[in-house]
Amino acid sequence: MSKLIKTNKKDDKIIVLLFEWIEVIILSTVSVFFITTFLFKHVTVSGDSMLPTLKNEDRVILAKYVVTSPRVGDIVVVTNSGIPGHDNLIKRIIAVGGQKVKVDPKKGEVYVDGILEKATYTKEPTKTIEDMIPDQEITVPLGCFFVMGDNRNHSTDSRSKIIGCVERKKVLGKALVVIFPFDRWSLL
């Protein structure tokens, strides 16, 4: 006859607890993978084109666009910028498809659909126009965005032929919050 293996309740509790911890670790890992793959991403700002809103080396949480569309005023990350050494750029959406944009470098102003942009977030008046022709009005193609840095005179953005108007598919998502350095923590 075979002998029954005798276990005590303490051993059973340890085994159950061990399996519960393994389950928690697996579920946590799957959750983090899902969240970072489909919902959020961590990005680091490179450069000063978004001053004063974002500084070089700020770390930002980006919400990937899976349901909603980018809107005017959103700070977004754009991929495949065309600028050597800069795969991704972080800029602000100034206008969407169908809107008209005009930069007046003499006055330092930007107009969208003939209305003066009231940008309280810019560092200084917009004096540079990059490749745009002065006082030329550009119509943003449907499915595209006109993006600019908040530090307008030190930003390569939609005013440049290198970037131009950005297609929707090149927008990775919207910047939500600065998470580091901790003293700069803020919602965007």
pLDDT of residue 51: 93
C-alpha to C-alpha distance for 141 and 167, rounded to whole angstroms: 9
Q: Indicate if 10 belongs to the active site.
A: no
Would the pTM count as exceeding 0.75? Answer: yes
In single-letter form, the type of residue at position 155 comes to: S
Tens of pLDDT, residues 19-46: 889 998 998 888 787 776 677 888 889 9
Domain boundaries, the chain: 40-179
Structural contact between residues 155 and 121, judged by C-beta atoms closer than 8 angstroms:
no
Query: Exactly one of 13, 31, 46, 49 is catalytic; which is it?
Result: 49
Return the residue matching tokens 């598919």: 169
Q: Indicate if 91 belongs to the active site.
A: yes
The full 3-state SS of the chain, as one line of letters, equals CCCCCCCCHHHHHHHHHHHHHHHHHHHHHHHHHHHHHHHEEEEECCCCCCCCCCCCCCEEEEEECCCCCCCCCCEEEEEEEEECCEEEEEEEEEEECCCEEEEECCCCEEEECCEECCCCCCCCCCCCCCCCCCCCEEECCCCEEEEECCCHHHCCCCCCCCCCCEEHHHEEEEEEEEEECHHHCEEC
Token pair for residue 21? Answer: 């911890």
Query: Exactly one of 9, 31, 69, 91 is catalytic; which is it?
Result: 91
The architecture (CATH level 2) of 40-179 comes to: Ribbon (2.10)
Instruction: For the beta carbon of residue 22, count every other beta carbon within 10 angstroms.
Output: 10
Tens of pLDDT, residues 120-161: 889 889 888 888 877 789 999 999 999 999 999 999 899 988
pLDDT of residue 148: 95
Q: Are strands 86-96 and 171-180 parallel, antiparallel or unpaired?
A: unpaired
